[in-house]
Amino acid sequence: MDNNKVETLKKVLDLEVYIKETKRTLSKLHHMSFDSAPEPPVCQKINKTYPEIKPTIKFNWIIALAPLALFWVLSFVGDELYAVFVFLMLPIWIIVYYFAIYKKQKTKNIEQIRNSAEYKAQCAEIDAECDRQQAIANQKYEEETRLYETEILPNYQKELDEWTANHEKKIEQTQQDLRNAQQNLSLIYQETKIVPSQYRTIEALNYIYEMISTSDYDIKEAVDMYDKAIQRQQEAARIEELQRANDLADQQNYHLAQQNALIDEQNAISERQCMDDRRRELETEYHRHQVRKHLKNK
């Protein structure tokens, strides 16, 4: 085989591989990004929690159930009508006592505790402690903000600018290398017409190159052998697909045969059952006939 053609074929094969790899590299570069900027500091908010107010007023069940005592007295003296009336009014009285008396007393008691000197002193201590903690948190936030604005963020911006410049330079250089390789490959194809356009793939070029570099075949013969190899692959794939289809059909036929066998068995059982039922009917009818005949002869 002509060494010039072998070298040319090797060159276009290498260029095709290089172009494919360079496109992949360029795609990765376009999808790369620098780390996100550091999150700015957040000032901690100190929440105040005041002591729970526990009212000293309790629900008085004696007052709530006082009508029961009246009910018992009236029942004892025999005034049943008033006794029944008092008993029926008991639920209404409990509701009135709860909302009109107890709840108002409880609300008033809570306000008295809230306005008491002792409770206010407790709240003042909590306010003072929270204010102290908030002042510390504010000072820490101011220091972190100063550090963030004077060091962290400027350093990040500097690194981002450097990375962006280098990254854009890499993209530009990779794009230029890709254009050069594509132009060089296109020029070789135009000048040498080393292989027809449908064989200008890495797979086809690699096959043809291996054939002509390790034997006495020329490019045309190698192309013919490549076509035959592709045809064999396609035929093998077609046979494999046909085999899979046949296997699937065999499985379906097997399952269908099993289903038909099951149906036949069920039909046979049903038919035997019908025959047994018919035989029992005939036997029963025969016995009835014999009995009637016997009675008639008497």
Encode pLDDT of 196-231 as tens digits: 999 999 999 999 999 998 888 888 999 999 999 889
Whether 251 has a pLDDT exceeding 90, the answer reads: no
Q: What share of the chain has pLDDT > 90, as a percent?
A: 46
Between 100 and 160, residue with greater pLDDT: 160
Instruction: Look at residue 84 in the predicted model and tell me its pLDDT.
Output: 63
User: Nearest-5° angle of CA 237, CA 241, CA 243?
Assistant: 115
CA atoms within 13 A on the CB side of 147: 10
Residue 18: exposure state from Cβ atoms within 10 A (0-12, 13-18, ≥19): middle
**pLDDT tens digits, 169-178:** 999 999 999 9
pLDDT band per the 50, 70, 90 thresholds, residue 16: very high
Q: What percent of the chain has pLDDT over 70?
A: 87
Residue 211: CB atoms within 10 Å: 22
How far is Cα 201 from Cα 184, in angstroms, rounded to an integer?
A: 16
